[in-house]
Structure 1
Amino acid sequence: MQVLNPEYKEAMRSNYLFMDIEEGDFATILQGTSVCELSAGEILFSQKQPATEFFLLVEGKIKISLLSFEGTQKVVDIINPGNTFAEVIILNGMEGYPVNAKALSNAKVLRINAEKYIQVLSNSSEACLKVIGRLSARLHWLMNEMERLSLHNASYRLISYLLEDIPHGSVEETKVILGAPKRIIASRISVTPETFSRTLKSLSQDELIEVYDEHILVKDPSKLREMLFI
């Protein structure tokens, strides 16, 4: 059994799936948890691969994508450090992953054994109910996010994406690290790369942002927030 360092344990305890788990049960989960280091471009799991684990990202970025019947790739999500992924797949009892997961940069991922985690929830109705409550709140937020993106134009989607990593109420000039190629971010917010580029150019011409290779400088976050309500 791999012994996790305190940093990894703290990362798990800070996540909604583990914060309400009792110490003894948490120790059981740790028995089925290991660290996986990925190089940029390395695949963590593939579509239809047996789903036996879910994951918590400690460092780097992970791209979650779906391959259509036509062979085109749709970026479903870009995972940032501190977030879990594939937990809904596990809790729904799906046999295989319906998506692909690939490292966009060098990454460290905690692999959590699904059987150990479900065993803990099965033995503790209190822990199970708390996790269900937190998971329901998260799914509700995701559904609202999907509805919000589907009803708005490219400018709204891009501005929303840029503001995700900026503290609410901040008015200071802020650097937003992209962490992924622009074409992947475009797919994530459901616009074409061409539309993405045009929207960046428009916001830049309005002197709201400055565009660089690996980051975007948001000159005044409050002005971008105002545009969401125009």
Structure 2
Amino acid sequence: MPDMSSHEMHQLQQGQWFRSLPADVQQRLLSSARLKNLAAQQYLFYRNDVFDGLYCVLDGALRINSHNEQGKEALLAVIEPCNWFGEIALIDGLPRTHDAVAEKSSRLLWIPPAALEQMLQDNPLCWRYMAQLSTQKIRFTFASLEENALFPAFKRLVNRLILIAEGYGELSQNSRRVLNLPQEQLASMLAISRQTTNQILKQLEMQQLIRVDYREIEILDLKGLKQLSQKI
């Protein structure tokens, strides 16, 4: 078992997916896990890389993105503590779908491929747990496509703040108060201009639902954000 601090172990247990696993599966994952540290802006893997294991963020944040030939970034998500990722390439056996780069100094739990393959061979039921982890992302993708097609920018932004605060579904019992999310990244996620993003954030700040600071957004009233989203 890796030498995790009590805080890191607490972060791990906050995640809905890991917490829902049977105790023996949790133990199996932890017994083969290693810790990996990334410096700010260091890449964990690139799009089209071969599968190199399953990861969980214990501290810090990672951007999941891709770039076109001109270098323009398409930002899918910024993932923070207790979120697991990397299972898609495990399930389909194909290369990585996106880049993963540390937004800031980050610490990850890493399950190497050989350990995962042995666990899945010993207990085929574990494939179901990997599929459950993947379906969280599928649901998020479908919801994002629906919102882009049907909702105005204001509602899409409010919904994305709620989603990130709740850890993309991983923090169902809790929520984050401070989101490490610069405005330009939020704009990129939603495919809207930074000016429009700034205007919406100012409106939410005037309603005392959030507080905008340098490179972060503090959620002051998550319940109020949810009520606002229902009215839009």
TM class by shorter chain equals: 0.7 to 0.9
Classify the secondary structure of the residue corresponding to 2:101.
strand
**Structure 2 residue identity aligned to 1:141:** R
Q: CA deviation at 1:39?
A: 1.7
Distance 2:221 2:26 in 1: 43
* 1:141-192 C-alpha deviation (Å, 9 max, x unpaired): 3244223432212111221122232699x9xxx9942313221122123322
- Larger fraction in helix: 2
* Distance (Å, rounded) in 1 between the aligned partners of 2:51 and 2:130: 20
Give the partner amino acid of 2:61.
Answer: K
Corresponding letter in the other structure for 1:74: A
1:104 equivalent in structure 2: 103
Contact 1:20 1:127 (C-alpha < 8 Å) held by counterparts: no
Where in structure 2 are the equivalents of 1:1-230 lying within 5 Å?
Answer: 3-5=2-4, 7=6, 16=17, 19-20=20-21, 23=24, 29-30=29-30, 32-94=32-94, 96-132=95-131, 134-135=132-133, 137-139=135-137, 141-150=139-148, 151-164=150-163, 165=165, 176-206=177-207, 208-229=209-230, 230=232
- Aligned to 2:82, what secondary structure does the other structure show? coil
The alignment covers a number of residue pairs equal to 223
CA distance in structure 1 between the aligned counterparts of 2:79 and 2:200, rounded to whole angstroms: 23
Counterpart amino acid of residue 159 in structure 1: V
TM-score, normalised to structure 1's length? Answer: 0.78
Change (3 A) 1:182 1:4: same
Q: Report the 3-state secondary structure (helix = DSSP H, G, I; strand = E; otherwise coil) of the residue aligned with 1:64.
A: strand
Structure 1's 38 and 136: CA in aligned 2 closer, same or farther, altered over 3 A?
closer
Give the CA deviation at 1:100.
Answer: 0.9
Report the identity percentage: 19
State the one-letter code of the partner of 1:213.
Y
User: What whole-Å deviation, never above 9, does each CA across 1:84-120 have from its counterpart, x for those lacking one?
Assistant: 11111221111x2221111111110112112321321
For residues 29-53 of structure 1, give each alpha carbon's deviation from its aligned partner in whole angstroms, at most 9, with x where no partner exists.
Answer: 4464211111222111122222221
Tell me the distance in 1 between the aligned counterparts of 2:204 and 2:47: 37
State whether residues 56 and 85 of structure 1, in contact with CA within 8 Å, keep that contact through their aligned partners in structure 2.
Answer: yes
What secondary structure does 2:158 align onto?
A: helix
For normalisation by structure 2, the TM-score amounts to 0.77
CA change 1:12–1:205 in 2 (3 A) is closer
**Contact 2:12 2:58 survives alignment (8 Å):** no
Using the TM superposition, give the Cα deviation of residue 137 of structure 1 relative to its aligned residue in structure 2, in angstroms.
Answer: 4.9
Q: 1:74 offset after TM fit, Å? A: 0.4
Alpha-carbon contact 2:56-2:82 (below 8 Å) kept: yes
Of structures 1 and 2, the larger Rg is shown by 1
Cα distance in structure 2, aligned partners of 1:56 and 1:220? 28
> Residues 21 and 127 of structure 1 are in contact (CA less than 8 Å); yes or no, is this contact kept in structure 2?
no
- The gaps in structure 2 that reach 5 residues or longer are none
How far has the Cα of 1:228 moved from its partner? 1.6
Please list the CA deviations of residues 182-223 of structure 1 after superposition, one character each: whole Å capped at 9, or x if unmatched: 211221233222221122233334554443224435554444
What is the distance in 1 between the residues matched to 2:32 and 2:72? 35
- Which runs of 5 or more structure 1 residues have no equivalent in the other structure? none
Q: Distance in 2 between matches of 1:145 and 1:46?
A: 25
Q: 1:65 Cα deviation (Å)?
A: 0.4
